[in-house]
Amino acid sequence: MQSLQQKASEWSGVAGADAFAIDETNLFEKLGLQTFVDLSTSFYNRQERIVLLIWPIPHLRLGSLVFDDEEQWFRSIFATSKKEDAIRNQYEFFVQRMGGPPLYSERKDLYLRIHTLTSVHGLDRPSGADRTPPPFPVTHRAAERWLHHMQQALDSTQTIDPDSKIKMMNFFRHTAFFLVAGDELKNPATKGAVPACKHAASKPAAE
């Protein structure tokens, strides 16, 4: 049977070695804290002009990309999140994972601190079995949409050099599909359809 890492590599098209090339350089030292804050702020809060076709005069408004995603099913995944918390959760995790101080773990409780990716985000237990928020779908489609926004956020963060961008995107892509694979394992009956949970990514497990 394929491991989650193998599935993640197959579905993402990113080999494990490329996904974890982020560990070859200390990206936190290279890029600095502000870059990670900017990246997550851009991911969650970047404003985009949205044209509303309201007859007879089309309206323009500004919307944030993830929270106001044009696709309702994706927007609804973030419906219970607070934007400021989501930004902080994400950049603190990225900082920690990419060689910086353990900001994320320090802020989370002991339970979170001693668990790895799958348990932190509920992939290994029934929904509602702890106090993490309710599950949300991490399907192939959700992964692609998340990655689409992350690619845009990376492209709009000017302090990230091209090589770091590639390394980070490979890590994000592989991790996103690792999460999809974890969901499918947890919910074989709903393969490719609904499942889900919260997540993050630890270092690769042994194949």
User: Using CB under 6 A as the criterion, which residues of the chain lie in contact with ligand HEM when the complex forms?
Assistant: 77-78, 81, 85-86, 89-90, 93, 136, 138, 142-143, 146, 172, 175-176, 179, 198-201
Considering beta carbons, is residue 30 or 141 the nearer one to ligand HEM? Answer: 141
* Residue 89 C-beta: closest distance to ligand HEM, Å: 3
CA neighbor of 139 nearest in space, from 186, 78, 194: 194
What is the rounded distance in angstroms from the CA atom of residue 174 to the CA atom of residue 179? Answer: 9
Helix %, strand %, coil % for the chain, to 5?
Answer: 55, 5, 40
Min dist CB 202 to ligand HEM, Å, is 10
Complex with ligand HEM: residue 61 or 192, whichever CB lies closer: 192
Q: Of 153, 175, 147, which is closest to residue 36 (Cα–Cα)?
A: 153
> Whose CA is closest to 2, among 121, 126, 176, 178?
178
Closest to ligand HEM by CB, 17 vs 134, is 134
Q: Min. distance of Cβ 105 from ligand HEM in angstroms? A: 10
Minimal distance, residue 137 CB to ligand HEM, in Å: 7
- What is the nearest approach in angstroms of ligand HEM to the Cβ of residue 118? 13
Q: Which is nearer to ligand HEM, 9 or 90 (CB)?
A: 90
Nearer to ligand HEM, 3 or 81 (CB): 81
Burial string for 167-205 (b: 16+ CB within 10 Å, else e) reads bbbbbbbbbbbbbbbbbbbbbeeeeeeebbbbbbbeebe
